[in-house]
Amino acid sequence: MEKAITIKNLKYQYDQNQPLFDGLNLNIEQGQWVALVGHNGSGKSTLAKLILGLLVADEGEIAVLGQTLSEDSVDEIRGQIGMVFQNPDNQFVGATVADDVAFGLENLEVPSEAMSAKIQAALEVVGMEEFTDREPHHLSGGQKQRVALASVLALEPKIIILDEATAMLDPDGRQMVQATLKKLKQLYGSELTLITITHDMDEASLADRVVVVNDGQLVMDGQPNQVFAQGATLAKIGLELPFSMQLIQRLDPRPQNYMNQQELLAWLSPLNK
């Protein structure tokens, strides 16, 4: 199967003496849900911007769905990738929810008659269909991020990147967005590659694969339970384990594998008797 994203020997630096990426290699399969985790300044957001061509790499090759990123292909590649940013307010272009979803469609020169149906469909997927004519300052952060997700979905991308999309949200909003992501994954399955950039390990635990980045290096790469099993290494680079894992470590006797909250609850409940 064709790779969704291939990164070969990527080099990039913000200023002369401090290379951020010095020969990074990463492959992401189509249909995978990959969580890219790392503490602030580890380079994970920069990586997303490089993939989208918002920043230009100094050296190396980035290919999206088999197409190498270059000045000529950047528009086409952006057409395949949708991105949701951190700040819910700063990516809301339209005056109302519907206008915001329409913005991307307008750019693609979708005929006006076809827009309403697409907007409605995208808003239904994220559960915001009742807010069509709402203005952004009457929405919560979680709702705005779901609208941002709908704006991206309306463009029917193959890959969606969420760059710390839940970092500025309250717990409720975060949960709403994460639930929406799970729903997306169920709906589109292997049609959609999802990349969530985050430092929230509970969010990372939802993914199929967790890639840990530190100082521009890939430190760990594997299924969530494999990565979370190495708590000491994670702690060393300033990352916290998911809540359930922190709890497991304080238990005695304790389960040998990583468990999410539900699994852990199930494991604990017989002991309660």
Partner 1 sequence: MNSIVIGRYIPGNSWIHRLDPRTKIILTFVYIMILLFANSWGTYLVATIFLAGVIYLTKQPLNLYWQGIKPILWLILFTVILQIFFTDGQPVLWQWRFIKVTLPGLINAIYVVIRFVLIILMSTIMTLTTPPTSIASALESLLGPLKKLKVPVAELALMLSIALRFVPLLMDETQKIMNAQKSRGMSFSTGGPIKRAKAVVPLLVPLFVGALQRALDLANAMEVRGFKDADHRTRYRILAYHRADYISGLMMVLFIIVFSLINLKGW
Binding pattern to partner 1, positions 184-213, x when CB under 8 A? ------------------------------
Write down the least CB distance from residue 173 to partner 1, Å.
Answer: 17
43 near partner 1, judged by CB under 8 A: no
Residue 26 β-bridge partners:
7
94 near partner 1, judged by CB under 8 A: yes
* Chosen residue from 5, 32, 62, 78 binding partner 1 by CB under 8 A: 78
Question: Which listed range, 60-68, 94-102, 224-232, 255-263, lies at the site for partner 1 (CB under 8 A)?
Answer: 94-102
* Chosen residue from 137, 171, 253, 262 binding partner 1 by CB under 8 A: 137
Question: Which listed range, 81-89, 182-190, 235-243, 265-273, lies at the site for partner 1 (CB under 8 A)?
Answer: 81-89
Question: How many angstroms separate the CA atoms of 181 and 113, rounded?
Answer: 29
164 is catalytic: yes
63, 36, 52, 47: which is closest to 14 by C-alpha? 47
Residue 94 · residue 103 · CB < 8 Å = yes
28 near partner 1, judged by CB under 8 A: no
223, 195, 197: which is closest to 209 by C-alpha? 223
Choosing from 2, 109, 135, 164, the catalytic residue is: 164
99 near partner 1, judged by CB under 8 A: yes
152 near partner 1, judged by CB under 8 A: yes
**Count of residues that bind partner 1 according to CB under 8 A:** 40
49 near partner 1, judged by CB under 8 A: yes
* Chosen residue from 2, 59, 89, 170 binding partner 1 by CB under 8 A: 89
Which lies closer to partner 1 via its Cβ, residue 108 or residue 235? 108
110 near partner 1, judged by CB under 8 A: yes
C-alpha distances in angstroms, 182 versus 104, 185, 207, 260?
Answer: 23, 5, 9, 15
Buried b (16+ CB within 10 A) or exposed e, 195-219: bbbbbbbbbbbbbebbbbbbbbeeb
Residues forming contacts to partner 1 in the complex (CB under 8 A) are 49, 52, 54, 75, 78-79, 81-83, 85, 87, 89-96, 98-99, 102-112, 115, 119, 136-137, 148, 151-152, 155
Q: Which residues are catalytic?
A: 164
